[in-house]
Amino acid sequence: MLLALPLVLSSYLVTVFVLIFFYAYLGQAWNIVGGYAGQLSAGHAAFVGVGAYTAAVLSLSAGLTPWVGMFVGGALAAVLGAFIGFLGFRFGLRGFYFVLLTVAFAEMCRIVANNVEAIGGAVGLYITFTGNPRQFQFQDTRAYYYIALGLMIAATAVAAAIERRRFGVYLSAIREDEGAAEAVGVPTFRYKMLAMIVSSFLTGVGGTFYAFYLFSLQPNTVFGIPLSVEIIIRPIVGGAGTLFGPVVGSFILSPLAELTRLYFAAGGGWAGVHLIVYGVLLVVVVLFFPQGAVPWMKRALGRTRA
Amino acid sequence: MAEGLCAEQVRLPATQGLILDPVLVVQAVVSGLLFGGVYSLMAIGLTLIFGVMRVVNFAHGDLMVWAMYLAWLGATRFGVDPYVGFVGAAAILFVAGFVIQRQLVDRIVDAPHEMQILLMLGVALVLENTALVAFGPEPQRVRTPLTQAAVWLGPVFVDVGRLVTFLVAIALTAALWLFLYRSDLGRQMRAVADNGYGAHVIGTDVRHVSAVAFAVGAACVGAAGALVAPLLPFQPPTGLQLSVTSFNIVIIGGMGSVLGAFVGGLIVSVAESLGAVFLNPSMKELVSFALLVVILLVRPAGIFGRRAI
Amino acid sequence: MHRRTLLKTTVMGAAVAGFPLPLRAQPKTIKIAAIHTVTGALAEPGQACRMAAQIAVDHVNGSGGIKSMGGAKLELMLGDTQTKPDVARTEAERLINAGAQILMGTFNSGDTAAIVPVAQQRRVPFLVDISAADPITANVARAVKEGQQKVQYVYRNFPTGSLFGQRAVQYFTEIFKEAGVSPRRVVLMHCNDLFGTNQAKGFQAAHKAANPPWDIVEVISWPEPPSDLSTEVSRAKAAKPDIIAPITRPASALLLLPELRKQRVEAMGIVGPGSPGLYEAGQLTALKDDLEYVMTSVPWPNFKHPQAQRLAEEYLRRSGGKMLDTNSGYSYDGIHVIADVLERAKSTDPDAVVDAIQKTSFKDNLMISTGPVVFNEIGDNPNAAPAMIQILKHKPVAVWPKDYALSKFVFPRPKA
């Protein structure tokens, strides 16, 4: 059904869906290390940024097509992820301390990007709109829709594959009780690293989409904490560590943000009210649906069936 | 020349060679120490809340910005000098903190970590944007006679406003320390921080103590905000920045340690100041983040933190 | 199927698919989307732009609308980018879908860049009222030149970063000469964000090209918004400046200027190559004497034009006390340029509009410029120019070039 939608929807709604799918993709990528493995990272924007800048710089200076550039970007992001993971896991950082480590790295990337001339510094990079598919650009927005949808499905497939295998079992053991898992012989360090690498690789690839969809990169936007927040909010609201959590979360939050903005933003003096609603909703979800939407839905459905 | 990149590939000189002007270095250290007082104030409330409640208060910076706005209102509408009005700000935030803890945080004390973070993030969003609607987006600053004054020790300049804040930071740290180590309630708080269950077993009303702890932490933030308002320009988005900086300081100094917050503030500030001398100042925050990473790896409990994680 | 139902279904289907319904002969209203950074970090200038655009639309409609199209009125559709590029893009799509025929915006170069592809894809003319990053139009022009795109739909009525730099250097040199002094050492201090860095680069490039008798001896930048500028100012002082050239945002200006005074940085003057933060009403109230005699080269309304003063008063009233300045002025002009374009195009057909844009020679603009509004082959207005304004007696006043000056400049500044 999703495949047929662009044929009937207006371009505006197609755009909304592109963002729903894209953020679901990023959320799913995060879910692998943040949800399944339980290692909360609040600095995933770093990987988006690394991926985005890599592909953009390669395209602008070497003419490398982003179709290849995205994998280079993903690889570099994975290297950064491995580095952060190594530092965090080898030194035994858990919970909040790991969160801060990831935030620190994202901020450092942001500051460095703001100050390095060669990649544009604070001015950032601008990509010329050519509409040329070889440059990962399309004249028709619907193409982006299918790509974003494809990305979301791909990430979910990866998560599903992990969930099914021993990898996934180990990750949930680590998430539930890392000490016990280690005692039982689970190679925790190795699997946490793997999760981190997969997650950061996928996020980096997403960065390329970001760059070639929005056509400009500024360090504060693409490495910034607000982007990291957007990434983690969807899986958490939808259900961290569940397969469809990020997707459901994105389908809840993106339209919500859109609607609240439209409803409240018309008047200039009330600018910002929609973000208040967003915040209140977050609080409500946390208080009354702490496991996230997917487990709640499962329980609700289970009850009606019984 | 690369397509699409800005046509003028002008080098912005990162530094005109190493600045070895000794006066400049001394000045940087002095300025850094004094501004450290500001940072310390910011961090004290946060460390208390985390130390006692293990709650990561992501709304910290936004609470502080609200306190700054309260101080600004007091100064502009009622002519109350922030150095007096901070008591009022502290009181208001005490109540706010109590309510937040009782009504919101308490309900998710047993929930997974992510939920806590999300909750306070939601609170932060609400605070930031209510401030935006109420006060508008322009940066504000509170002018007081003190902040205009400067004192000169030879070639080195001392900002009077910051000196006063530094002294107040010392006083507040001392007052808080006395409260935690010499008063009954303070002892109870530390007991809850060390071992919540144990404290419960011996009859401590953990819920009540937690709420008071959060409230006291919020009051500290309130006082800090009001005292710092004359020194910093602030606008609703400033909250996020303040939160990040405060977390930095608190980790470096040691979560839960009031002395750590004080010393951590000084360290971070001096590090940034020296960073601004030897690097391009636009990179000075890199220094404090690098410091954070080092501490996280070498001694995550922080300089004065008592427990390993 | 019943005929009425068939018709309804077709109409619904068409609406959902976004196809334009068969148009009547002459549109009664022309929809212009004003998409600005109304919330988020750049909310204040964004709100100023929106207000000015609204006033401009009221004026155009009040004087008869677009006469060549039967008195068609302009209707302003409002969009908010939240200072985020992905939201900017979504807003553009939404408004185009709701019938917007022309876009204007956004103030923030990053958001503007995100809308460019939408304008090109959907063939909707996009007039950038404010954004200084050169690549915004240059990239589109190049794509058209190389055949990757057929038509350029993006045009900008605002000085580009490089133009800012050139004029700033020119004004610096001219003012020093007119004042009869020869400062040698200029210390450039700028905020390290999109705008500040762009300006700084433009200024330095222009300086290199023009090779005037003064030098930029040190460049000091800080992360925006800063909490503390004491070390930066100490560094500036150590460089023994004759002139301090600040590029600030309002937040950093609130810290920088008092700090310069407290640390007793003695300079002949504080002359900025162009930035906000040095002339707005809120800044004047907060900084008072610290802003006196400060100069900055910014786009400015031409208050010698009779309409400008009236507009300033109306703007003051409707905005609740805000001053007409750079941003509001350009948004106001932007709407009038669009109105002029529509008069000549006599239709809202995108290619007719683009054709009319390219032939523009609009003389009734209220912003200071070196000629009428025209668009060059890149799509920029080379006549959009800043002017040097100075804060005298707590009010910003144009002091250079002489043609637009309302007052003589005061330089070097008097010793405190």
Going by C-alpha positions, the residue among C197, C98, C63, A130 that lies closest to residue C35 is C98
pLDDT band at B244 (very low <50, low <70, confident <90, very high): confident
Average pLDDT on B234-243 reads 88
Indicate if the pLDDT at residue C260 is higher than 50: yes
Nearest CB among B118, B129, B296 relative to A272 is that of B129
**Could you give the ipTM of this predicted complex?**
0.81
Domain borders along chain A are: 5-224
Rounded Cα distance, B283 and B292, in Å: 15
Are C234 and C283 in a shared domain?
A: yes
Indicate if the pLDDT at residue C41 is higher than 80: no
**Which of residues 251 through 280 in chain B touch C, CB cutoff 8 A?**
269, 272-273, 276-277, 280
Specify which residues A265 forms β-bridges with. none
Nearest CB among B107, B125, B244 relative to A282 is that of B125
Are C332 and C316 in a shared domain?
A: yes
A85–chain B nearest CA distance, Å: 12
Going by C-alpha positions, the residue among C288, C305, C176 that lies closest to residue C242 is C176
Size of interface B-C (CB pairs under 8 A): 138
**Residue A275 to residue B118, Cβ atoms within 8 A:** no
Per-residue model confidence (pLDDT) at position B7: 33
Q: Give tens-digit pLDDT for A29-79.
A: 999 998 898 888 989 999 999 999 999 999 998 888 989 999 999 999 999
Are C260 and C362 in a shared domain?
A: no
Are C192 and C261 in a shared domain?
A: yes
The residue assigned the tokens 């994975």 is A78
The answer to whether C122 and A14 are in contact (CB under 8 A) is no
Rounded Cα distance, B55 and B107, in Å: 12
Given the DSSP bridges, would you call strands A216-217 and A125-126 parallel, antiparallel or unpaired?
Answer: antiparallel
The number of folded domains in chain C is 2
Those residues whose C-beta lies under 8 Å from the C-beta of residue A302, and which sit 6 or more positions away, are none
Are C217 and C286 in a shared domain?
A: yes
In a domain, C7, yes or no: no
Going by C-alpha positions, the residue among C12, C33, C69, C94 that lies closest to residue C349 is C69
Closest Cα in chain C to A211: C114
The answer to whether C124 and C96 are in contact (CB under 8 A) is yes
More confident residue, C411 or B17: C411
Min mean pLDDT across B208-217, C49-58, C331-340 is at B208-217
What tokens appear for B84 in the block?
């007096």
**Residue A261 to residue C18, Cβ atoms within 8 A:** no
Q: pTM, whole model, 2 decimals?
A: 0.85
Rounded Cα distance, C29 and C174, in Å: 48
More confident residue, B1 or A133: A133
Those residues whose C-beta lies under 8 Å from the C-beta of residue A34, and which sit 6 or more positions away, are A40, A41, A44, A199, A232, A235, A240, B114
Q: Give me the domains of chain B, ranges plus CATH numbers.
A: 2-10+22-298 (1.10.3470)
* CA torsion through residues A38, A40, A45, A46, sign: negative
C112: domain range?
29-159+303-385
Those residues whose C-beta lies under 8 Å from the C-beta of residue A166, and which sit 6 or more positions away, are none
In a domain, C35, yes or no: yes
More confident residue, B299 or C384: C384
**Residue C225 to residue B141, Cβ atoms within 8 A:** no
The answer to whether C351 and C153 are in contact (CB under 8 A) is no
Are C62 and C151 in a shared domain?
A: yes
Q: Give tens-digit pLDDT for A129-160.
A: 887 888 888 888 888 999 999 999 999 999 99
More confident residue, B267 or B109: B267
Indicate if the pLDDT at residue C109 is higher than 50: yes
pLDDT band at B45 (very low <50, low <70, confident <90, very high): confident
What tokens appear for A243 in the block?
């397969």
Average pLDDT on B233-237 reads 87
Nearest CB among A10, A123, A265 relative to C17 is that of A10
Min mean pLDDT across A195-209, A280-294, C27-41, C134-148 is at A280-294
| Angle made by CA atoms C13, C17, C19, in degrees to the nearest 5 | 95
Are C232 and C342 in a shared domain?
A: no
Indicate if the pLDDT at residue B16 is higher than 70: no
CB atoms within 10 A of CB B135: 18
Compute the mean pLDDT over every residue in chain C, rounded to the nearest whole number. 88
In a domain, C332, yes or no: yes
In a domain, C20, yes or no: no
Which of C149, C194, C275 would you mutate first to test chain A, the one with the most A CBs within 10 A? C194
Are C190 and C264 in a shared domain?
A: yes
Q: Is C87 on the interface with A (CB under 8 A)?
A: yes
Q: How far is CA B125 from CA B101, B221, B224, B225, C231, in A?
A: 17, 18, 21, 18, 32
Are C63 and C131 in a shared domain?
A: yes
Chain C residues in contact with A275 by the CB 8 A cut-off are: 39
Rounded Cα distance, B19 and B33, in Å: 20
CATH number at C112 reads 3.40.50.2300
Phi, psi angles (nearest 5°) of residue A59 = -70, -45
Are C279 and C328 in a shared domain?
A: no
Are C336 and C379 in a shared domain?
A: yes
In a domain, C64, yes or no: yes
B4–chain A nearest CA distance, Å: 6
**Chains contacting C (3+ CB pairs below 8 angstroms):** A, B
* CA torsion through residues B67, C255, C81, C343, sign: positive
Are C125 and C247 in a shared domain?
A: no
Average pLDDT on C113-139 reads 91
Q: Is C231 on the interface with B (CB under 8 A)?
A: yes
pLDDT band at B5 (very low <50, low <70, confident <90, very high): very low
Q: Best-predicted range by mean pLDDT among A90-94, A165-169, B296-300? A: A165-169
| Angle made by CA atoms C389, C390, C391, in degrees to the nearest 5 | 130
